[in-house]
Amino acid sequence: MITFISVLLIIFVTVMLFVYPTLRQEDGEPNRFGEVRRKSPGFLLMWNGKNRLRLFLVALALIVVDLSTKFAREGHQYYVLTPTGHRYAITTPGFKIIVPFSKVDEWSKYMEVKAVKLDSAGNIAEDISGIEGVIPGGVKVMFIDRATADVFISARFEIPNDEDSFIKLVETYKTPQNLVNNTLLQTITEQLTNITFMYSADDYVSGGATDYKLTVEDALKNGGYVVRREEVMDTLFTPEVLTVDSLVSKPRQIQEIRKFTKNSKVIENGIPKRVQHEINANKVLTAQVIVSDVILEKSFTDKLKQQRDISAEKIIEIQKIETARAAQQRIIAEGERDKAAERVNQEKAQVSKLINIETQVKEEESKRQLAEIAVQTAELEAKATLTRERAQAEANRMKVSAGLTPQERAEYEYKTAIGVAAELKNLKLPEIYIQGANGSGGSSILEQLIGAEMAKGMLKKQ
């Protein structure tokens, strides 16, 4: 802007140098038509030689100042080539003093590369303003299972900050567009192609998408992988078939064995071996990498839809089988529950019967034992009574043998009869008695017992 104003001033001074003599006229001097003109304007009177020189020097000084200074914008770097051939770089913002008439190339510090989608007419369907590198339709890649895809990636790169690397970069590529077209776009395409051939499309859609994107980002930031080709085999099995009737699955069978050749990382000491690509070699920093989308070919997506439908049907059938199995188990459980309840009821009835029988047996056993005890007790009492009565009878016999008077004998017999009657009245005979050995019913023992008791009473009265 300063140079433009200075050039206008110089042009004005030059024009006025030739136009001023014809414009300046004194009062009273006739012109070529004989007319007397008025005095010239005041500013023309001021347009003398000294003022013209001053104005020219000011314009020249402005031009020199403009050529000797450069305002460095934020986010840009500048390559400066002086008239003497000296080269240096401006990497910080602000006003900078440079040698006049130096060549200054301005480079954006950050460069954007983006793969954009196309509409049905083949035109770019996205806004690409501010993007230095555009990849229409994405990057064409192929997986190891021969499935193709379009990868849509966006990357942001930062040119080197150090002066030597920046100067070398500028002198190598001349313009930023050459760097984008010849290095950034080509390296992105190369790395995507190599990395994609390390994966299969089935692996990608089955959970390997995150690992794939991280590998792409790592390769662009830290260098490409050294890979080796190796042959892999993929065995395809027939789907597992489940039937509701049998509730068992039929064993799978080998349907197809496919062979692939893929790239695998070369590992040394547990670390992948790398090789520098052009981005790293030129010390361009990969600031950001985003794999926004991977669009697989239509045939593969159709295959995925079929597999999805088959999987959905399989899940439905498995759910039906699980429902039938649960119903079967429920019926079995209910039957076992009913059997257990019936078994418990029958066992309770049996236990009740057994308890009753055992109670009766114990009662009969108790009765038998009581009867035996009663018999033994009666026998003992009878023996004791018999012994006492025999002793008493013997005593009475001895008294009678000693000699009683007729009066005493009559009185004895009288009292004996009365005592026998009284004793017979109060006598309580046992229900169980001992039968004599001759089967006569034990009448002799009874008579002896009665006599013994009467004799006992008589002795107590005496």
Q: What is the pLDDT of residues 226-277, one digit of tens each?
A: 888 777 676 666 655 555 444 455 566 666 666 667 777 888 888 888 888 8
Confidence band, pLDDT 50/70/90 cuts, at residue 48: low
Assess whether 76 and 218 both reside in one domain.
no
Say yes or no to pLDDT of 191 above 60: yes
Assess whether 226 and 325 both reside in one domain.
no
Assess whether 284 and 418 both reside in one domain.
no
Residue 302 lies in a domain: no
Residue 59 lies in a domain: yes
Assess whether 33 and 172 both reside in one domain.
no
**Residues 273-302: b if buried by 16+ CB within 10 A, e if exposed:** ebeebebbebbbebeebebeebebbeebee
**Residues 97-126: b if buried by 16+ CB within 10 A, e if exposed:** ebeeebeeeebebebbbbbbeeeeeeeeee
Q: What is the mean pLDDT of residues 286-290?
A: 92
Domain extent at residue 41: 2-104
pLDDT of residue 321: 82
pLDDT of residue 181: 92
Say yes or no to pLDDT of 294 above 80: yes
The answer to whether 163 and 88 have CB atoms below 8 angstroms apart is yes
Q: What is the mean pLDDT of residues 81-97?
A: 88
pLDDT of residue 355: 86
3-state SS, residue 38: coil
Amino acid at 182: N
Percent of the chain topping pLDDT 70 = 68
d(CA 12, CA 15): 5
Q: Output the average pLDDT for the chain.
A: 77
Say yes or no to pLDDT of 289 above 90: yes
The label of the residue with tokens 């193709």 reads 148
The domain boundary, picked from 104, 128, 157, lies at 104
Q: What is the mean pLDDT of residues 380-390?
A: 82
Radius of gyration, alpha carbons of the chain: 68
Residue 305 lies in a domain: no
String of DSSP letters for 396-459: HHHHHHH---HHHHHHHHHHHHHHHHHHHHH----SS-PPPTTSS-SHHHHHHHHHHHHHHHHH
Assess whether 28 and 160 both reside in one domain.
no
Q: Which residues contact 38 (CB under 8 A, 6 or more apart)?
A: 27
Residue 421 lies in a domain: yes
The answer to whether 429 and 441 have CB atoms below 8 angstroms apart is no
Q: Which residues contact 437 (CB under 8 A, 6 or more apart)?
A: none
Of residues 390 and 420, more confidently modeled:
390
Say yes or no to pLDDT of 43 above 50: no
Confidence band, pLDDT 50/70/90 cuts, at residue 96: confident
Give the Å distances, CA to CA, from 159 to 90, 150, 178, 387: 13, 28, 13, 143
Among 261, 262, 260, 238, smallest CA distance to 250 is for 238
Of residues 305 and 342, more confidently modeled:
342
String of DSSP letters for 227-260: EEEEEEEEEEEPPPEE-TTT--EEPP-EEEEEEE
Assess whether 39 and 162 both reside in one domain.
no
Assess whether 253 and 347 both reside in one domain.
no
Residue 301 lies in a domain: no
pLDDT in tens, 425-457: 665 555 444 444 444 444 455 556 666 666 666
Residue 193 lies in a domain: yes
Confidence band, pLDDT 50/70/90 cuts, at residue 149: very high
Structure token pair of residue 313: 């049907």
Assess whether 93 and 123 both reside in one domain.
no
Of residues 346 and 16, more confidently modeled:
346
Q: What is the mean pLDDT of residues 316-336?
A: 83
The domain boundary, picked from 104, 136, 170, lies at 104
Assess whether 27 and 78 both reside in one domain.
yes
Residue 309 lies in a domain: no
pLDDT of residue 360: 87
pLDDT in tens, 399-428: 666 665 667 667 767 777 776 666 656 655
Percent of the chain topping pLDDT 90 = 20
Q: Is 40 exposed, middle or buried (0-12, 13-18, 19+ CB in 10 A)?
A: middle
String of DSSP letters for 130-188: T-SEEEET-EEEE-TTS-EEEEEEEEEEE---SHHHHHHHHHHHSSHHHHIIIIIHHHH
pTM as predicted: 0.54
The domain boundary, picked from 104, 120, 143, lies at 104
pLDDT of residue 50: 65
Tally of structural domains, the chain: 3
pLDDT in tens, 333-368: 888 888 888 888 888 888 888 888 888 888 888 888
Q: What is the mean pLDDT of residues 78-103?
A: 88
d(CA 338, CA 47): 128
Among 207, 111, 193, smallest CA distance to 149 is for 193
pLDDT of residue 441: 46
Assess whether 278 and 151 both reside in one domain.
yes
Assess whether 287 and 147 both reside in one domain.
yes
Say yes or no to pLDDT of 306 above 90: no
Minimum mean pLDDT among 144-153, 155-164, 318-327: which range? 318-327
Assess whether 54 and 74 both reside in one domain.
yes
pLDDT of residue 448: 62
Residue 191 lies in a domain: yes
3-state SS, residue 310: helix
Highest mean pLDDT pick, 79-88, 222-231, 363-372: 79-88
Read off φ and ψ for residue 138, nearest 5 degrees.
85, 180
Minimum mean pLDDT among 76-90, 117-131, 149-163, 278-292: which range? 117-131
Confidence band, pLDDT 50/70/90 cuts, at residue 384: confident
Q: Which long-range contacts (CB under 8 A, 24 or more apart) does 392-401 make?
A: 392/452, 392/455, 392/456, 392/459, 393/448, 393/451, 393/452, 393/455, 395/455, 395/459, 396/455
CA 162 to chain centre: 46
pLDDT of residue 446: 57
